């Protein structure tokens, strides 16, 4: 039985150094601590999170919405940007139905007109379509359902207290139908080797995602196997009908945390080809602000997406392109102004290689007058 504890926490919002190209989030927040979804592969069990018994003892942070309201109201230097609730917890875990902690947080986010990106394994999120719709209309709202198998029995074993995959897909469909402005997709993450990486499952998840009317699918082959989390996962597998997978996994990982690069590359190629077959982008469109950051964000999106798709196709990461894309997010003025003032070659914090990557994009976009078509 899960124990719920109310506890006060001071901090409500974390600012990330750079938004990434997966969720495009600049801020994260956690209104809960711990997660009663208790997925057997959850990384929250690893030592780096210092969470004890995270699935049996869930903390509900008191007055979280009020504190967030104050934080967003008082912040002079806090520019609106994408907030992602739920790190090592699901914002729609079972207790949310009763305490409405996430719903209250959404109301504050809507009030301050910040964009949002939520990942969940629960159909409960459909309860909040009214607020999510408002956020999408005012700024930007993206919702991703984590779905890594369509096999009911396997999903029950891996994610015992989440909504079954069919209900997550149904929820996705409902949201897209009732609120087309909300960007929705599937987080096909993790894809566990020997349990979920067969051709049938890969195709079924992508096909069923497409059938819901989803806008994107994010993919991540493999599962991180880290200290206590790995121990717990392997122990559960050994006691299950999937015990034969243990030996296969240990042979593949060879004591490492991640599967080998050639396995990941092969999987990427398969998934890329399926995403093309079903015409489902492997990236969500990012939120673009209307202030000076708009071109920085747009060009950053183009660079980060290009680096990602090239990595998927070739297995090689263009780190210079990645850094150029990441750093653009933190530029304190518009890249277009920098270019027009002839200062592009002196861009502080950017090295020559990165500047050479940015330049063609800035020149190309500066010649166009209709910049707003991207926004």
List of residues contacting ligand SF4 (CB under 6 A): 35, 37-39, 42, 44, 88-90, 121
H or E element: which one contains 320?
Answer: helix 319-328
Q: Which is nearer to ligand SF4, 34 or 115 (CB)?
A: 34
| Shortest Å, Cβ 40 to ligand SF4 | 9
Q: Which is nearer to ligand SF4, 44 or 72 (CB)?
A: 44
Sheet with 57-61: strands ordered across: 3-7, 57-61, 32-33
Nearer to ligand SF4, 35 or 136 (CB): 35
Output 69 or 90, the one with its CB closest to ligand SF4. Answer: 90
Cα 8–109–78 angle (5° rounding)?
85
Smallest distance, ligand SF4 to C-beta of residue 195, A: 15
Provide, rounded to whole angstroms, the least separation between the CB of residue 87 and ligand SF4: 8
> Rounded to whole angstroms, how far apart are CA atoms 337 and 295?
10
Question: Whole-number minimum distance, CB 144 to ligand SF4, in Å?
Answer: 12
Asked if the bond preceding 215 is cis, omega within 30° of 0, the reply is no
Nearest distance from residue 45's CB to ligand SF4, in Å?
9
Backbone φ and ψ for 217, nearest 5 degrees, come out as: -140, 130
Q: Which is nearer to ligand SF4, 88 or 252 (CB)?
A: 88
CB 130 within 8 A of CB 103: no
Q: How far is the CB of 82 from ligand SF4 (least distance, A)?
A: 19
- The whole-angstrom separation of Cα 40 and Cα 230 is 10
Tell which residue, 373, 354, 322, has the closest CA to residue 21: 322
Q: Which is nearer to ligand SF4, 11 or 56 (by Cβ)?
A: 56
Strands 3-7 and 57-61: parallel
């Amino acid at each position: 039985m899960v124990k719920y504890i109310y506890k006060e926490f001071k901090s409500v919002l974390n600012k990330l150094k750079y938004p990434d190209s997966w969720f495009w989030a600049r801020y994260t927040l956690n209104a809960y601590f711990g997660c009663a979804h208790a997925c057997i592969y959850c990384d929250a069990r690893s030592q780096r999170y210092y969470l004890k018994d995270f699935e049996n003892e869930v903390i509900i942070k008191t007055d979280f919405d009020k504190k967030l309201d104050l934080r967003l109201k008082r912040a002079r230097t806090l520019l609106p940007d994408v907030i992602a609730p739920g790190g090592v917890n699901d914002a729609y875990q079972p207790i949310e139905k009763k305490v409405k902690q996430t719903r209250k947080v959404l109301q504050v986010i809507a009030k301050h007109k910040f964009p949002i990106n939520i990942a969940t394994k629960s159909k409960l999120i459909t309860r909040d379509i009214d607020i999510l719709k408002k956020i999408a209309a005012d700024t930007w709202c993206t919702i991703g359902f984590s779905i890594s198998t369509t096999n009911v029995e396997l999903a029950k074993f891996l994610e015992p207290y989440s909504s079954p995959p069919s209900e997550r897909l149904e929820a996705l469909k409902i949201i897209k139908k009732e609120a087309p402005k909300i960007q929705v997709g599937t987080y096909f993450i993790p894809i566990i080797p020997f349990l979920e990486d067969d051709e049938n499952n890969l195709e079924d998840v992508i096909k069923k995602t497409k059938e819901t009317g989803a806008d994107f699918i994010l993919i991540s082959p493999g599962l991180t196997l880290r200290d206590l989390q790995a121990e717990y996962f392997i122990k559960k597998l050994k006691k299950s009908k999937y015990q034969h997978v243990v030996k296969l996994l240990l042979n593949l990982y060879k004591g490492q945390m991640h599967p080998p690069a050639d396995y990941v590359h092969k999987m990427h190629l398969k998934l890329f080809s399926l995403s093309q077959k079903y015409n489902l982008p492997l990236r969500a469109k990012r939120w673009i602000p209307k202030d000076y950051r708009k071109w920085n964000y747009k060009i950053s999106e183009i660079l980060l997406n290009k680096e990602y798709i090239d990595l998927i196709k070739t297995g090689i990461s263009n780190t210079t392109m990645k850094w150029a894309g990441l750093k653009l997010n933190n530029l304190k003025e518009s890249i277009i102004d920098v270019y027009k003032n002839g200062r592009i070659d002196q861009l502080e914090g950017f090295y020559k290689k990165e500047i050479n990557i940015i330049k063609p994009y800035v020149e190309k976009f500066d010649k166009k007058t209709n910049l707003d078509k991207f926004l």
